[in-house]
Structure 1
Amino acid sequence: MKKRLVAMGLTAVMAMSLLVGCGSGGSNNTSSETPAKDETKKSGYRVAYIARAQSDSFAAWLANEIMAEAGEYDDITLDVFDGQADDEKENTAIENAISSKYDAIIVQPNNGEAQRPYVEKVVQNGIIAITTNARIDGIEGASSVDADPYKQAAVNATLALEQIPENARVVVLNGPSGNFHADERRKAWQAEFFDKRPDVKIVAEDFANWNKDEAMALMEDWVIAHGEIDAIISMNDNMAAGALEVVAGKPGYEDIFVYGVDGTAEALLLIQEGKMTATCLQSAIDLSELILDTAHRLLTGEEKQIDTDIAAPLITKDNVDEYIKIYKERGLITE
């Protein structure tokens, strides 16, 4: 039976629910309208989550998981806002959250350095600040919940050392320039793979900005310009899936190696089908649980500052089924 990707439909949900913001507490409210006051609800904390972009499949997945996890806390009301992959819009959303006097503001940066001064304003206004996916380092008084992007790429690069053939021709898809996760993953590939495999030639490399369509456009050009390509090295799954879609079914690309990061539902199914080689799980499930736990501990005064990471497990054909099972249990993949 053909499997249906619920996760890839999340962007449509996000488009509706994030334009203005959606409240969630004991239950999730996905309406853009202000929810009616619930007199029986316990007084608690107001938390704003500023999402990077609903058009990014991982960002959409993370925002939905955060909304679901917030529902487990009866003293937290969560509002989610869409940065629309635009620094100006994201910064405006942060400023609006400050003006609205939220108790905590969680920021998923579009461009860490562009958001840095605005997160600093959060701290200066006495509001709890948390940066996530990717963290913004060096903001005194701010906390962070993230994954280690160097490790995420390094587990793929170590595998690729053994798999990619001698004198291979590869293409590289990068995330946004200046993005902490994008830059660190590229550094890891350089140090853990390219520096150790001087025989491998990068025939093309460019920024696809986490975007599937941009990756497809680049790959279409690269196939025409360079012909034989032995591997696609991508800094996330969304770009990897886009590039792979271009060469799917084309003669000469049946054995292409494809590496990504995130462990999205789409990537897991591609690995199960033998079309994608490996990914590193950046679990939005684990991340959301840790984000809300961190926010709650800071809000209640249990801790003053927290900087923590989730794990970075490698997913290949050997273990992909166990992760697909988890996704099925959460309704992210259905038969």
Structure 2
Amino acid sequence: MKKWLSMFFAVALLAASVTGCSSPAPTTEAPEGSEAPADGKYKVAYVARAQADSFAAWLANAVKEESEKYDNMTVDIFDGQASDDTENSLIENAIANKYDLIIIQPNNGEAQRPYAEKAIAAGIKVITTNARISGIEGASSVDADPYKQAQVNAELAVEKIPQNANVVILKGPPGNFHADERYKSWQKEFFEKRPDVTIVGEEIANWNKDEAMTYMETWMQASKKIDAIISMNDNMAAGALEAVKDKPEFAEIQAYGVDGTAEACLLIKDGKMTSTSLQSAYDLAIALMDTSNKLLTGEETQIDMDIDCPLITPDNVDQYIEMHKKAGAIN
């Protein structure tokens, strides 16, 4: 039923727009010998993982805004609704509608792999992003290194989390490259180095704030001592922190995330969150549109790249709050 309904899924052009990081004016002329579309504009489909996911929404907004700098492309945004069936159907629809390029932000990389391969077989260019689906012949990718994203947080946590601490873990969806690699990094870079730490709760919250808040409420009832929240993204960390808000017994709880969202930066500034690592949707959007343009005009045939992942703490959070203010994400 979901798949049938998704065939009628409307284009979800995002209402909220933000201004991305500054970048040089793009070159949009096709090199000699390459074919430009008859109407002068290439059609690009961006299939977002889920608009309910704060980072996915941030990235989709940034992509839409950045795309407006290119007069040779039109970009349509589609919402995968955190559903493999929906996302796969949207990719199939984009193939049927003869888009020139499809950007896929997977819900579950392995579930989307055959549909990305189907698009390539149909002669459509494909970019996978956040997280890349590796090993697809003919596909490009724009991403960040999820192991490093978690590692910079884990290295700080080794020093900051107290001895014999109780911690809880919030995981992303299984099979998602970023979720799996961040979890692997925490295991190697923190838990192997801190055998004194006890895990009193561990659940898959699917990047979702509400799910994370529900799990945290349950853990609080079962364990009166929780020293740290280890989350694979900021959205889940924020949900868990919402559950402990105004509860004195958890006033000193630490929380670690990934993404560097506006919300996470404000939580760090307020002393409620310990750290996050930046996965700049602005930088990803700039790279995605530049890569799309180069692939479509024939300047490049394949591009695979990663953006940086600096650690954000109370010591440097002001510069990232300023970044979000300039982009309009923080008033």
Compute the TM-score of the two structures, normalised by the length of structure 2. Answer: 0.89
Q: Matches of 1:194 and 1:170 in 2, distance apart?
A: 11
Q: Is residue 226 of structure 2 the alignment partner of residue 229 of structure 1?
A: yes
Q: Is residue 199 of structure 2 the alignment partner of residue 202 of structure 1?
A: yes
Q: Which amino acid aligns with 2:164?
A: N
Asked if the contact 1:22/1:79 (under 8 Å) is kept, the reply is: yes
Q: Matches of 2:149 and 2:83 in 1, distance apart?
A: 25
Task: Provide the residue aligned with 1:77 in structure 2.
Answer: 74
1:64 to 61, 64, 67: 61
Q: Is residue 314 of structure 2 the alignment partner of residue 317 of structure 1?
A: yes
Deviation by residue 1:235-256 (Cα, 9 ceiling, x = unmatched) = 0000000001111121221111
Q: Is residue 140 of structure 2 the alignment partner of residue 149 of structure 1?
A: no
The 3-state SS of whatever aligns with 1:102 is: coil
Deviation by residue 1:278-331 (Cα, 9 ceiling, x = unmatched) = 000111000000000111111111111111011000000000000101111111
2:285 to 253, 277, 288: 288
Task: Provide the residue aligned with 1:20 in structure 2.
Answer: 11
Q: Is residue 175 of structure 2 the alignment partner of residue 184 of structure 1?
A: no
Aligned pairs (5 A) from 1:224-303: 224-303=221-300
Q: Matches of 2:114 and 2:127 in 1, distance apart?
A: 14
Deviation by residue 1:176-230 (Cα, 9 ceiling, x = unmatched) = 0111100000000000000011001111101000000000100000000011000
Task: Provide the residue aligned with 2:89 in structure 1.
Answer: 92
The 3-state SS of whatever aligns with 2:257 is: strand
The 3-state SS of whatever aligns with 2:273 is: coil
The 3-state SS of whatever aligns with 2:322 is: helix
Deviation by residue 1:50-77 (Cα, 9 ceiling, x = unmatched) = 0111111111110010000000001011
Task: Provide the residue aligned with 2:42 in structure 1.
Answer: 45
Asked if the contact 1:50/1:107 (under 8 Å) is kept, the reply is: yes
Deviation by residue 1:249-282 (Cα, 9 ceiling, x = unmatched) = 2122111110000111110000000000000011
Q: CA deviation at 1:146?
A: 0.5
Poorly superposed stretches of 4+, deviation over 2 Å: 18-23
The 3-state SS of whatever aligns with 1:221 is: helix
Q: Is residue 152 of structure 2 the alignment partner of residue 161 of structure 1?
A: no
Q: CA deviation at 1:98?
A: 0.5
Asked if the contact 1:47/1:77 (under 8 Å) is kept, the reply is: yes
Task: Provide the residue aligned with 1:3 in structure 2.
Answer: none
Q: Matches of 1:151 and 1:68 in 2, distance apart?
A: 28
Q: Which amino acid aligns with 2:155?
A: T
Structure 2: tracts of 5 or more residues without a match = 1-8, 20-37
Q: Which amino acid aligns with 2:137?
A: E
Task: Provide the residue aligned with 1:213 in structure 2.
Answer: 210
2:98 to 86, 96, 101: 101
Q: Matches of 1:20 and 1:99 in 2, distance apart?
A: 15
Asked if the contact 1:52/1:59 (under 8 Å) is kept, the reply is: yes
Asked if the contact 1:22/1:78 (under 8 Å) is kept, the reply is: no
The 3-state SS of whatever aligns with 1:89 is: helix
1:111 to 99, 108, 125: 108
Asked if the contact 1:327/1:333 (under 8 Å) is kept, the reply is: yes
Q: Which amino acid aligns with 1:310?
A: I
Task: Provide the residue aligned with 1:9 in structure 2.
Answer: none
Q: Matches of 1:314 and 1:230 in 2, distance apart?
A: 21
